[in-house]
Amino acid sequence: MKCVFLSDGVVSFPSDVPPPVPAKDEALIKVHRSGICGTDIEMACGYKDDFRGCLGHEFVGTVVGLGEDSDPSSHEWLDKRVVGEINIPCDACATCQQGGVLRRNHCPQRKCLGILNKSGAHAEYLCLPVQNLFKVPAAITDPTAVFVEPLAAACRILEVAILKEGDRVAILGDGKLGLLTAEVLGRYPNVTVTLIGKHPAKMQLVQHLVHTTVASDVADVTDAFDVVVDATGSSEGSTSACKLTRPLGTVILKTTCASSSSFPASLLVVKELNVIGSRCGPFQAAIDFLLKHKLSMDKYINAEIPAVRMSAAWEQAQIPGSLKVQIVFDATESTEPKVDSGVLA
């Protein structure tokens, strides 16, 4: 099968990788589309330097098979269009026994699709446990369904119940996750949200929901916000977030990157800031969010590129300022970028 393969820090685009074989209670999924994420790029830069396999964790596909001896109830998933949570807990450890978010996100023995000990979604086929799957309603198109995983990461901020009435909230970074976070927080009642970025044209995509400002205009601003979300994808983002947060305020860190970070410990102590790491979120909440607001994510897609040109998709995704690049496995034609080149400026 065709895939984006990482081994010893080198990304390749083979077409002869054997498809995965589903284990008991796993589904074999034929991938329709996958989305190239910033984490994928960081993986190639050494974020998880011992990973070997197919990259990718944002996808939509159809269940075409089940593992041998799978529970009979699993058969209801056959032929269903699905997305899937990326963390695979062991279900045996003390953390898993506590259930909830601890099991979902923090099993110490977990595998993680395309990131940790589990080959990923930039491939014609992938395997995931049936318990990780969510059916995609007919009202959600394939291009939009690929966004369920990153949108769930944005919904995680609401899941931890940090925001209070009257809060001044800033989102640092107008990349893919920053824009999706603006989609979610911009609809939260009775808070004021400001997106701070470097690309005015990209920020226009959410200006109907949030205030927007160019990062250089707030370079000297301090203590202006109750809650600041770092979605910069940069190792320097945490320092900027702490500067912008008022004393006793809250910093939410969404950035993961391979480069080393000079964490602003003194700022945290002096300003007595609350710091919350935030990663994977609730898939059902993301699906419900898309349905409730009748959202299409097409405006966030920079390019849809068929799998036969997978290397071109990878190159496109690495262009600074690029929005989402999707690899299309169920089509042979290329689609021109959907977003004006000005949005990438």
The predicted-structure confidence for 120-175, as pLDDT tens digits, reads as follows 999 999 999 999 999 999 999 999 999 999 999 999 999 988 999 999 999 999 99
Mapping DSSP to helix (H, G, I), strand (E, B) and coil, where does residue 19 land?
coil
The predicted-structure confidence for 254-312, as pLDDT tens digits, reads as follows 877 655 567 778 888 999 999 999 989 999 999 999 999 999 999 999 999 999 999 99
**Are the C-beta atoms of 173 and 203 separated by less than 8 Å?**
no
More confident residue, 25 or 220: 25
DSSP string, 139-182: TS-HHHHTTHHHHHHHHHHHHTT---TT-EEEEE--SHHHHHHH
Among candidate residues 207, 254, 208, the one with its CA nearest the CA of residue 230 = 254
Which residues contact residue 67 at a Cβ distance below 8 angstroms, ignoring those fewer than 6 apart?
A: 21, 22, 23, 24, 25, 26, 27, 28, 127
Confidence bin at 344 (pLDDT 50/70/90): very low
Instruction: For the chain, give the mean pLDDT.
Output: 91
Question: In this structure, what token pair is assigned to residue 248?
Answer: 């006793």
The predicted-structure confidence for 16-74, as pLDDT tens digits, reads as follows 999 999 999 999 999 999 999 988 998 988 888 889 999 999 999 999 999 999 999 99
Among candidate residues 257, 168, 172, 259, the one with its CA nearest the CA of residue 219 = 172
Among candidate residues 155, 132, 148, the one with its CA nearest the CA of residue 74 = 132
Residue 214 pLDDT: 94
* Rounded distance between C-alpha atoms, residue 85 and residue 285, angstroms: 12
pTM to 2 decimal places: 0.91
Residue 47 pLDDT: 81
The predicted-structure confidence for 101-122, as pLDDT tens digits, reads as follows 999 999 999 999 999 999 999 9
Residue 332 pLDDT: 41
Which residues contact residue 345 at a Cβ distance below 8 angstroms, ignoring those fewer than 6 apart?
A: 199, 201, 321
Q: Which of 86-95, 180-189, 328-337 has the lowest mean pLDDT?
A: 328-337
β-strand pairing of 211-214 with 225-230: unpaired
Residue 258 pLDDT: 57
Angle among Cα 207, 288, 77 to the nearest 5 degrees reads: 135
pLDDT at 334 over 70: no
